[in-house]
């Protein structure tokens, strides 16, 4: 069959450097990935810096990073414009309370509705309708009902967080594979045991995805709500909004910086907790 040598080709599958030295390859790849992850934001900041210091953009509105870093240092060392720590603490308290209530309610309804058809039939249409109501618009109602302190803020955050947690945990419970449920039922597990041994752990990784998303949402809602209403004239959102009204963009950037750090910390804390309580779930392979 292979007489026609002129048209014969020989192909070879041979190892590449990466196949001979996988450790070196993985190390190199990791170095490249980490460098890229760092290089991109650094590049953006550099561009901003250059654009600001060369006055390509208006320095008063868009102060370059160096100005902002200087302002952050001054703000937190000498408190020339009021103690930021007080505002941060007040905001964190509001956020945690709101997040906590939202998570509790969202988990309860989400898991309950995931497990019971009847409960789902009763509540789902109503909740779906309420889901699209802009929560910030509720702040006026909450003010009247709950009074002029932190409670309306907490309520707005809780309601917003609730919808995210509810939706994700209901979906998580409903998508537990039938095979796992049947395995548990074949051992005559009751409803409670079924929940404890199978449904809850099976849904946990996805539930935590919802908790992570809503952690970010809690920060967003907090800042937004404090723009509208800030009892005692305290809070990160209030400071950002106030900086705008008194035309102090640097302070606004400090506020944005604080909010970003707060959000990043909060989301990673939830992520770490999720890893601790659901160690079997596969890791999403983030570089940093």
Partner 1 sequence: MISVKRSLGAFAERKQYRGGDLVESVVDVGRPSGAPEDKIVARGVERYFGGKKAQRIHALGPLDISVRDGEFVCIVGPSGCGKSTFLRMVAGLIRPSEGEIEFTTRRSVQPTAMVFQDYSIFPWKKVLDNARYGLDIQGVPRKEGNKIALKYLEKLGLAERARSWPDTLSGGMKQRVAIARALTIEPEILLMDEPFAALDAQMRQILQDELLELWQADRRTVLFITHSLEEAVLLGDRVLVMSARPGRIIADIEIPFERPRRAEVRESPEFANVTAQLWRLLRQEVEKSRPTSSTEQNVPSDGEGEGLR
Closest CA to 164 of 211, 123, 128: 211
Q: To 5 degrees, how large is the angle CA 247–CA 251–CA 252?
A: 75
Please answer whether residues 143 and 186 qualify as being in contact, where contact means their C-beta atoms are separated by less than 8 angstroms.
no
d(CA 29, CA 43): 20
Q: For the chain, how many residues are written?
A: 288
Q: How many residues bind partner 1 (CB under 8 A)?
A: 24
Residue closer to partner 1, measured from CB, 4 or 78: 4
What's the min distance (Å) between Cβ of 197 and partner 1? 23
Residue closer to partner 1, measured from CB, 32 or 137: 32
What's the min distance (Å) between Cβ of 170 and partner 1? 26
From the number of C-beta atoms within 10 Å of its C-beta (0-12, 13-18, 19+), residue 65 rates as middle
Residue closer to partner 1, measured from CB, 33 or 58: 33
Per-position x/- string for 12-51, each x denoting binding to partner 1 as judged by CB under 8 A, each - no binding: xxxxx-xxx-xx-xxx-x----------------------
* 7 binding partner 1? (CB under 8 A): yes
Residue closer to partner 1, measured from CB, 33 or 149: 33
* 2 binding partner 1? (CB under 8 A): yes
* 280 binding partner 1? (CB under 8 A): no
Residue closer to partner 1, measured from CB, 8 or 246: 8
Per-position x/- string for 199-228, each x denoting binding to partner 1 as judged by CB under 8 A, each - no binding: ------------------------------
Residue closer to partner 1, measured from CB, 14 or 192: 14
Please answer whether residues 226 and 236 qualify as being in contact, where contact means their C-beta atoms are separated by less than 8 angstroms.
yes
* 125 binding partner 1? (CB under 8 A): no
Phi, psi of 150 (to 5 degrees): -70, -15
Alpha carbon dihedral 273, 274, 278, 283, in 10-degree steps, equals: -120
Closest CA to 106 of 44, 42, 57, 173: 173
What's the min distance (Å) between Cβ of 20 and partner 1? 6
Look-up of token digits 């170095």: 31
Residues in contact with partner 1 by the rule CB under 8 A: 1-2, 4-16, 18-20, 22-23, 25-27, 29
């Amino acid at each position: 069959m292979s007489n026609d040598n002129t048209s014969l080709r020989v192909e070879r599958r041979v190892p590449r450097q990466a196949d001979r030295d996988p450790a070196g390859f993985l190390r190199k790849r990791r170095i490249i990935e980490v460098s890229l992850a760092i290089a991109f934001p650094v590049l953006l900041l550099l561009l901003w810096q250059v654009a600001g210091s060369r006055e390509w953009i208006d320095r008063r509105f868009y102060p370059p990073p160096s100005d902002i870093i200087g302002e952050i240092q001054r703000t937190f060392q000498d408190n020339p414009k009021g103690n930021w720590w007080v505002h941060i603490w007040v905001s964190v308290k509001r956020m945690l309370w709101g997040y906590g209530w939202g998570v509790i309610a969202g988990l309860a309804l989400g898991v309950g509705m995931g497990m019971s058809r009847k409960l789902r039939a009763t509540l789902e249409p109503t909740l779906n309708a309420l889901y699209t109501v802009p929560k910030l618009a509720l702040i006026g109602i909450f003010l009247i009902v709950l009074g002029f302190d932190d409670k309306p803020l907490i309520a707005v955050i809780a309601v917003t967080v609730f919808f995210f947690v509810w939706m994700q945990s209901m979906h998580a419970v409903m998508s537990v594979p039938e095979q796992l449920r049947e395995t548990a039922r074949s051992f005559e597990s009751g409803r409670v045991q079924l929940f404890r041994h199978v449904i809850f752990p099976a849904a946990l990784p996805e539930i935590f995805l919802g908790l992570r998303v809503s952690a970010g949402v809690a920060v967003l809602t907090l800042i937004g709500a404090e723009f509208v209403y800030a009892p005692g004239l305290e809070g990160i959102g209030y400071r950002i909004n106030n900086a705008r009204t008194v035309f102090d963009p640097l302070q606004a950037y400090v506020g944005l910086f604080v909010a970003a750090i707060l959000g990043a910390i909060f989301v990673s804390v939830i992520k770490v907790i999720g890893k601790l309580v659901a160690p079997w779930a596969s890791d999403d392979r983030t570089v940093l």
